[in-house]
Amino acid sequence: MDISIKSALPEQQKSACVVLGVFERRKLSSSAEKMDKACNGQLTKILKSGDMDGKAGQSLMLHHVDGSACERILLVGCGREKDFSESAYRKTLKTASEALLKSGARDAVSFLTELNIGEHGSGWKIRQAVEIIEHSRYRADHLKSEKDNAPALRKIIFTIPGARELKTAKQGLAIGRAIAAGSALARELGNLPGNICTPTYLAAQATKLAKQSSKLKVRALGQKQMETLGMGALLSVAKGSRQPPKLIEMNYQGGKKTDKPIVLVGKGITFDSGGISIKPSAAMDEMKFDMCGAAGVIGAMAAVAELKLPLNVIAIIPSCENLPDGAASKPGDIVTSMSGQTIEVLNTDAEGRLILCDALTYSEKFKPRAVIDVATLTGACVIALGKHASGLLSNDDRLAHSLLDAGNDSGDRAWQMPLWEEYQEQLKSNFADVANIGGREAGTITAACFLSRFSKKFKWAHLDIAGVAWESGSNKGATGRPVALLTQYLLNQCGKSYQLP
């Protein structure tokens, strides 16, 4: 979509639609007030008639209001003015985007980016607006013969209060675009079914991405190479599948050669049936989303490459299917990981940690500044945090805080859980160095405890995205999370004074 920025007067816009905010109790935002004056108080009059009072989630489309230069005016409820927070702003943007995309308007000018939200400047406000309109515009209809109703909207302008804000607004636009494109890619990969989005397909998509950036190199290791490296844990999961496993390595070099890289590791189980410890069939289709960690990491790499960040970032994506078969791992099997630690596979459905542990050990060779793994790892995380926050566990408090901050800045939030020594006891095995499950209690924490045993040589954080990576029900589909969080974290690593070129 064509997105641009300008400073403008609402009443003068010859647009198909002008978007204006209204607070609760019919309190007009300042742009809405200007428009109201130009229209001889018609907005006030219409609101008084009772169709809308400004509650969050409300919207009202008006056509050909006398005195305005535009075809439509979209009024959007913002809730109470004194409660107008970041999340209220996002909700307003979402309501506005959905109403706009449903309408026949081919272009629009939105004044919502001029609303006051704490200390936020135009950069942040525009960036959020870009992410949200692009998110609303996404349709998962590639595989449908008849496409879902395609929006008419082609062009949107976000306004700023004055030319002084132009530079930061443009940066916000660039960041918003990059994050939107990264999340769209993550959603696209996530939504593809397991029969299309195989480990080989994921590797091909990563390779395709590398063609668009001179700073990005991609290679994929196959089974033979993994055998040579001794990745017995990863390979044990792949054994039950006809699809060859891949270890995808994406290397983005935006910093100096000598700069230590940040490593992102993404769980890429392209379908998780549970293996021999097979899952119940209800909603099993949703286990095609078990590669959303990989998709999020690939999406973040796309954003980093687009923004040309001055950092070195490496993505490692272990990828395979988890299926039952005569050759599949069985409960009780003992496998040897790349680290040399032996693992008793008490439940073949706890496969994510088995592929991640070898990817984590593999990461050591990059002498990383930090390693962040991203995985749809535990159903327990969905129970603990629901769909609003990713679970965060880390062996380094500073790293954990940077990620929590990045989550808050971007609106793609995480919440920290403890990684105390006491929980490690639950992973005791009578026959191997460690068991791959830790019992019913604290499932998200014991999964992270398992990973921590393979992350002793670097600063490491784990994001359990099981609750946030996709939505179920009538809106079933990948969300693109945590692309925004990861990209924000990486942006923050460029230093406070860093400005996009």
Residues belonging to the active site: 279, 353
Residue 339: CB atoms within 10 Å? 23
Taking the complex as a whole, the smallest distance from the CB of residue 272 to Zn ion amounts, in Å, to 4
The contacts of residue 453 (CB under 8 Å, 6+ apart) are 339, 341, 357, 427, 434
Residues pairing with 478 in the sheet: 470
Residue 212: CB atoms within 10 Å? 10
Binding mask 236-275 for Zn ion (x = CB under 5 A): ---------------------------------x--x---
Going by C-alpha positions, the residue among 89, 137, 88, 79 that lies closest to residue 112 is 89
240 binds ligand BES (CB under 6 A): no
Taking the complex as a whole, the smallest distance from the CB of residue 392 to ligand BES amounts, in Å, to 16
Binding mask 466-485 for ligand BES (x = CB under 6 A): x-------------------
165 binds Zn ion (CB under 5 A): no
The token pair that represents 12 in the structure block = 């003068």
Cβ-closest residue to ligand BES? 379
| Angle between helix 443-452 and 352-363 (nearest 10) | 30
Whole-number Å distance between alpha carbons of 489 and 268:
21
Whole-number Å distance between alpha carbons of 97 and 103:
10
Choose the stretch contacting ligand BES; rule: CB under 6 A; options: 27-35, 40-48, 65-73, 343-351. 343-351
Choose the stretch contacting ligand BES; rule: CB under 6 A; options: 129-137, 186-194, 198-206, 370-378. 370-378
> Residue type at 347?
N
Comparing CB distances to Mn ion, the nearer of 134 and 272 is: 272
Whole-number Å distance between alpha carbons of 122 and 159:
9
368 binds ligand BES (CB under 6 A): no
290 binds Zn ion (CB under 5 A): yes
Binding mask 101-140 for Zn ion (x = CB under 5 A): ----------------------------------------
Question: What one-character DSSP code corresponds to residue 361?
Answer: H
Comparing CB distances to Zn ion, the nearer of 279 and 457 is: 279
CA-CA-CA-CA torsion sign (399, 405, 409, 412): positive
Comparing CB distances to Mn ion, the nearer of 349 and 373 is: 349
321 binds Zn ion (CB under 5 A): no
Applying CB under 6 A, the residues found at the interface with ligand BES are 272, 290, 347, 349-352, 376-380, 382, 437, 443, 466
